[in-house]
Amino acid sequence: MEQYDVIIIGAGTAGLSAAIYAARSGKRTLVLEGKSCGGQIINAKAVVNYPGIKQISGVDFAMGLYEQAVEAGAKVLFQKAVRIELADSKKIVATAKQNYACGAVILAMGAKNRPLGLEREAELTGSGVSYCATCDGAFYKGKKTAVVGGGNTALEDALVLSEYCQKVTLIHRRDSFRGEWQTVQELKERSNVEILTDTVVTALEGDRQLTGIRVRNLKQEKEWVLPVHGLFAAVGQTPQSELVRDLVELDDYGYIKADESCRTSLPGIFAAGDCRTKEIRQLATAAADGVTAALAACQLA
Amino acid sequence: MEIKVITKETFETEVLQAKEPVLVDFFAEWCGPCKMLAPILHEIAEEKSDLKICKLDIDQNVDLALEYGVQAVPTMILFRQGEAAQKIVGLCSKDELLQQLSL
């Protein structure tokens, strides 16, 4: 079995930051990633709030992290971790391909977009339903779209879409937005943006391609069909913690319980970034978690 | 096998006349998902000695991109004996890629 000191699961910002620190500490470091590296930040057109970097695209940021980790000596493999086992003081991480042993594991699986929970939502994903306006918005140039959600992501998605869509309807189930006031004002000034508060989406219409959505005003008890080609869901996230559900303690929402030291309920297993219980989930805090977890892991491994 | 950067000048010999299957990554310098795909292709190239992988910049080779109906990047086309046998559009995981290409 291949032996490592530290195995990091997930090659997003937290995972790759951890890899840089673990590898630079001289530890044999492996990063396992089931999809592509970079995590959620690759969907950001521009990152403008990372201290010390005025502006960078999410992809360039992610690729910079990847290259930095590899150059520091970390090995990054595109294999999905499917199981973690404990064997004496060692931890075994299994992928579909092979098993790897290590002294410490850093869980950095991140979070993914929460679905709206509508019938046929999965079926129509990619055919009108999307969770990323930055990624898929361009497919709906000149068309009618809708955005669901009340936070900053929803507001910014609506703003981005309004640049090139014929019309954008922002739908939120409450009467006020959680996101920044400034952005709401900006949206209100745009002639092609319609804002529906106290409104929910109840059904998706269209055979193989989305043609409209059924919406319901909760206060007026009124329901109607809104013709749209694209529906962008921005209703929050859900942690990717299935891998360790039976291994470490999770909170009620499925986030891995760990404090600022990134230690989980199991010695030698750390949690970093968006999959951890925490107040703030930002790029800089994900990187900070990676560093903290790596240095703690290095003391053990 | 190393990933080769090809152009319209070398396409014929590197891809169409190749004996082994050739996976061509139609990419663009400005395309984010293409950058994310690069390390995945690199890993496949290291593992699969019987597969040749090439990269083609669509902006430098517009005619070829049009000829093969490339409308989005990244688009990957698997060529067997000079014929476009399979096409995959968009960023996907390594497992999905290998599965779709039956490699």
Question: Tens digit of pLDDT per residue, chain A (301 long)?
Answer: 999 999 999 999 999 999 999 999 999 999 999 999 999 888 777 888 899 999 999 999 999 999 999 999 999 999 999 999 999 889 999 999 999 999 999 999 999 889 999 999 988 887 899 888 876 788 799 999 999 999 988 999 999 999 999 999 999 999 999 988 999 999 999 999 999 999 999 999 999 899 999 999 999 999 999 999 999 999 988 999 999 999 999 999 999 999 889 999 999 999 999 999 998 888 999 999 999 999 999 998 7
- C-alpha A4/C-alpha A109 separation (Å) is 19
Q: Which residues of A touch B94 (CB under 8 A)?
A: 78-79
In this structure, chain A runs to a length of 301
Q: Do B93 and A78 touch (CB under 8 A)?
A: yes
- Give pLDDT tens digits for B10-59: 999 999 999 999 999 999 998 888 999 999 999 999 999 999 999 999 99
Tokens linked to A135: 């990624």
Residue found by looking up tokens 């190749």 in the block: B18
Q: Is the Cβ–Cβ distance between B1 and B49 less than 8 Å?
A: yes
Q: Can you give the pTM of this predicted structure?
A: 0.81
| Torsion sign, CA atoms B24, B30, B31, B34 | positive
- Strand pairing category for A199-205 and A212-217: antiparallel
Answer yes or no: is the ipTM higher than 0.90: no
Q: To which residue do tokens 């690069």 refer?
A: B38
From the centroid of its chain, how far is CA A271? 15
User: Which of B46, B7, B12 has the alpha carbon at shortest distance from B27?
Assistant: B7
Residues 6+ apart with CB under 8 A from A157: A133, A134, A137, A147, A149, A232, A234
Helix (H, G, I), strand (E, B) or coil at A300: helix
* Residues A13/A286, Cβ–Cβ less than 8 Å: yes
- Computed from CA positions of residues B14, B16, B19, B21, in that sequence, does the dihedral angle turn out positive or negative? positive
Which residues of B are designated catalytic? 31, 34
| CA B76 to mean position of chain CA atoms | 4
What is the torsion angle, in degrees rounded to the nearest 10, for the CA atoms of residue A283, residue A287, residue A292 and residue A295?
Answer: 170
- Tell me, yes or no, if B90 comes closer than 8 A to chain A by beta carbon: no
Tokens of A33: 């990633």
Question: What letter would DSSP give residue A207?
Answer: S
Residues of A in contact with B91 (CB under 8 A): 36
Judged by a CB distance cut-off of 8 A, whether residue B32 touches chain A is yes
CA quadruple B64, B68, B73, B74: dihedral sign: negative
Nearest of A158, A157, A146 to residue A230 by alpha carbon? A146
CA distance A195 to B27: 38
- Interface check for A77 against chain B (CB to CB < 8 A): the answer is yes
Closest CA to A290 of A7, A21, A69, A6: A21
What is the three-class DSSP state of B92? coil
